[in-house]
Amino acid sequence: MKKVFILLAWCCVFAFTQCTNSKTDTVVIIKTSYGDMIAVLFDETPKHKENFIKLAKEGFYNDLLFHRIIQGFMIQGGDPDSKNATPGQPLGMGGPGYTVPAEFNAKFFHEKGALSAARLGDGQNPSKASSGSQFYIVQGTVIPEANADALRIDQYKMNAAFQTILRDPKNQPLIDTLNQIYMTGDMQAYQTKINSLVPRLEKMTGQKIYKEVSPEKLKAYTTVGGAPHLDGEYTVFGKVISGLDVIDKIAAVPTQQERPVEDVRMTVTVEELPRKKITELYGYIYPNQ
């Protein structure tokens, strides 16, 4: 009986492994004159995944521009108004006529290559719903190991608590010290001093400003880099798994008011492949694979 049970258990594991390996997924190919970027979309953000695939299959993104570029931060595209835009025309407000509900997931964060949904600001959009078509790809910067502790700070709670210090006249000597450091132009020293105030702010406000940060997130932000201040504010729904150098090339294009002076157009297609093949081609390891 014991032998039969072991055999059945092994068969179940084998069947599960075969099923996992044979599962397919959709890869996104974003072609530009600077090279191609290959991305996967996350199952855990189904509304964003379904919407992006639908638009790509319809050819919605073809010939649109990366209309907003900030080197060291991100490249943004997907505005249908950019297709026939004249030089200097303001862009960034176009879309397909609908939004997508936010799908925040703590597993996904703004590391380099993160594919995320653009959106209107909180004042107009308190639910943080995503644009129906506009997206950005993170370039970001690498955070030095010495500053990694800053990743554990909830910046929104920090900013709110810091206002408490600014309103209290008794803290004027501290404010003067911060202003002096700021005027030197040493932003790293200034930020270090600000971060050192966290225990004091937590005691004053009774709020927990430090937050838990996974080892994976700390490693990513201190090696490949990213834009951690966006975490929890914009939906990350995919990841570039090949072509990170293309992000750098596009991010380096000269801009005027954040729009490239030379048009950078995209063609977006999708392809269904076995997950095992995606891993073989691009080295992307699926969770639990």
Considering 169, 185, 205, which residue would you say is the last residue of a domain? 205
- Give the amino acid at 22: S
For residues 29 and 69, state if they share a domain.
yes
- The CATH number for 46's domain is 2.40.100.10
Structural domain that includes position 63: 25-144+212-282
Task: State the SS3 of the chain.
Answer: CHHHHHHHHHHHHHHHHHHHHHCEEEEEEEEECCEEEEEEECCCCHHHHHHHHHHHHCCCCCCCEEEEEECCCEEEECCHHHCCCCCCCCCCCCCCCCEECCCCCCCCCCECCEEEECCCCCCCCCCCCEECCCEEEECCECCCHHHHHHHHECHHHHHHHHHHHHHCHHHHHHHHHHHHHHHCCCHHHHHHHHHCCHHHHHHHHCCCCECCCCHHHHHHHHHCCECHHHCCCCCEEEEEEECHHHHHHHHCCCEECCEECCCCECEEEEEEEEHHHHHHHHCCCCCCC
Which of 27-31, 46-50, 181-185 is least confident? 181-185
The predicted structure's pLDDT at residue 289: 58
Residue 20 clears pLDDT 50, i.e. is over it: no
- The overall pTM is greater than 0.85: no
Per-residue pLDDT tens over the stretch 246-260: 999 999 999 999 999
Q: Is residue 240 in some structural domain?
A: yes
For residues 161 and 246, state if they share a domain.
no
For residues 123 and 191, state if they share a domain.
no
The predicted structure's pLDDT at residue 38: 98
Per-residue pLDDT tens over the stretch 232-286: 899 999 999 999 999 999 999 999 999 999 999 999 999 999 999 999 999 999 9
Count how many domains the chain has. 2
For residues 193 and 234, state if they share a domain.
no
For residues 134 and 41, state if they share a domain.
yes
